[in-house]
Amino acid sequence: MRIATWNVNSVNARLETVRRWFEQEQPDVACLQELKCVDEKFPAEPFERLGYNIAVHGQKTYNGVAILSKTPLEDVRRGLPGDDGDDHARYLEAVVSGPTPVRVASIYLPNGNPIGTEKFAYKLNWLKRLNAHARQLLALEEPLAMVGDYNVIPEPRDAEYPAHWTRDALFQTESREAFRALKWLGLTDAFMQADGSPGAYTFWDYQAGSWQRNDGIRIDHALLSPQAADRLRGVAIHRDVRSWEKPSDHVPLVVELEL
């Protein structure tokens, strides 16, 4: 099973780019983030033609997450537990059916900038809620993949120029400690387990020639439960997609599990 995660930065604005990649790669499951549309405006038809079942948790103009699967989706959960007043569409979870079902979560973690504001506090609180929910999911002892745009640079090695990010919420000690605490629950960073090579980035800003200078960072992650990590056979970052016409500032990350 090939599970992809990709922050598409507006699925409708970049539909041709996204569709081209899906037609070329045909992942079994794909988790998309930053849709920037409500459920009804998600362009389902092109993906349904490719054989995908679709679950969407959208929001007008901002946020929005989706899961697309070649097999039916069950037990769909929209929204991260722990705050009934949180109306941001940042979390979607479902069980991908099959001989060995896999629970998958599509995650769009808050950016948190600027530091010292309620946005940063919201990011840290969201991470606490994610930690609490991950504990509950791990207790199920089933294959689990929590993938998405975590908006966290885990280590200096995950940025081409770490000094550029010292005042950014993505690289603050609190953000990195919270991400580390998720892994300490028993989750495996799939890329670090299967590859771990330096310079493997998933995001390049549109500004200041970041792509041309390779001023990249690794902020899109796939965290696996022990039952999924045991089945990990490879990870690929589709860097070339960043050079396509009208690209997202993120590129797809694909995890392969042997099921």
Our count of domains for the chain comes to 1
The pLDDT of residue 179 is: 98
Query: Whole domain around residue 127: which residue ranges?
Result: 2-257
Say yes or no to pLDDT of 21 above 90. yes
The C-alpha atoms of residue 175 and residue 179 are separated, in whole angstroms, by: 6
- Under the banding of pLDDT at 50, 70 and 90, the label for residue 34 is very high
Residue 256 DSSP SS3:
strand
The pLDDT of residue 208 is: 84
The pLDDT of residue 30 is: 99
The pLDDT of residue 1 is: 98
pLDDT in tens, 123-139: 999 999 999 999 999 99
The pLDDT of residue 149 is: 99
The pLDDT of residue 244 is: 98
Distance of CA 19 to the CA centre of its chain: 18
Tokens representing 42 are 């998600």
The pLDDT of residue 2 is: 98
In the set 91, 108, 150, 201, the catalytic residue is 108
Q: Give the dihedral sign, CA 146/55/81/6.
A: positive
The pLDDT of residue 12 is: 98
Say yes or no to pLDDT of 88 above 90. yes
The C-alpha atoms of residue 95 and residue 73 are separated, in whole angstroms, by: 6
In the set 52, 91, 149, 220, the catalytic residue is 149
Q: Percent of the chain scored above 90 by pLDDT?
A: 100
Asked if 203 and 219 count as a contact pair (C-beta separation under 8 A), the reply is yes
pLDDT in tens, 180-228: 999 999 999 999 999 999 999 999 999 989 999 999 999 999 999 999 9
The pLDDT of residue 9 is: 98
- In the residue annotation, 86 being an active-site residue is answered as no
The reply to whether the predicted model has a pTM over 0.85 is yes
CATH code of the domain covering residue 91 = 3.60.10.10
**Burial of 49 (C-beta count, 10 Å sphere; 0-12/13-18/19+):** exposed
- In the residue annotation, 108 being an active-site residue is answered as yes
The pLDDT of residue 11 is: 98
Average pLDDT, the chain: 98
Residue 144 bridge partners (DSSP): 103
Closest CA to 179 of 139, 222, 227, 232: 222
The pLDDT of residue 87 is: 96
